[in-house]
Structure 1
Amino acid sequence: MDEYSKMENINEIVPELEQKPDIGYLIGLGLIKEVYRENIISEKEYNGMVKTFTREYAKCIRNENVKNKEFKSDK
């Protein structure tokens, strides 16, 4: 599976990251990819880590969006 098809699957799982990829997310993916490239983890582990990281990162984005909306409505 190539890099682009993995990203398509991730965007289906977590649409927020398609709209708002940021440096923290890209760095995290880069670190996971580097560990895989060094043959420390298998491809199956790599795919699982990418999906888990993506879901958890999206939760942070969702929580941040909720906090921002609450903060704006308090003004």
Structure 2
Amino acid sequence: MRLIDKCHLKRPFYGARRIRGWLEDQGRIVNRKRIQRLIRMMGLTAIYSKRNTSKAAQAHKIYPFAQRLNH
């Protein structure tokens, strides 16, 4: 867990698979699912850009909603 924390502090965007690869480079052979479990237990999450679907482009024209006319 100390090595996982050390890796996470250096590269907070790494997930369980990349941390496993980093640990292999350090000479530790560990199963990915074990890494995943320990990461969850430590409360760590990878930092990465999330979807931004709610934000409109600034150059995009905003159309008013069509209003129904009662006749």
Q: Same fold (TM over 0.5)?
A: no
| Greater RCO, CA 8 A, separation 6+ | 1
Q: What TM-score, normalized to structure 1?
A: 0.30
- Larger proportion of helix: 1
Q: What TM-score, normalized to structure 2?
A: 0.31
Select the structure of larger CA radius of gyration.
2
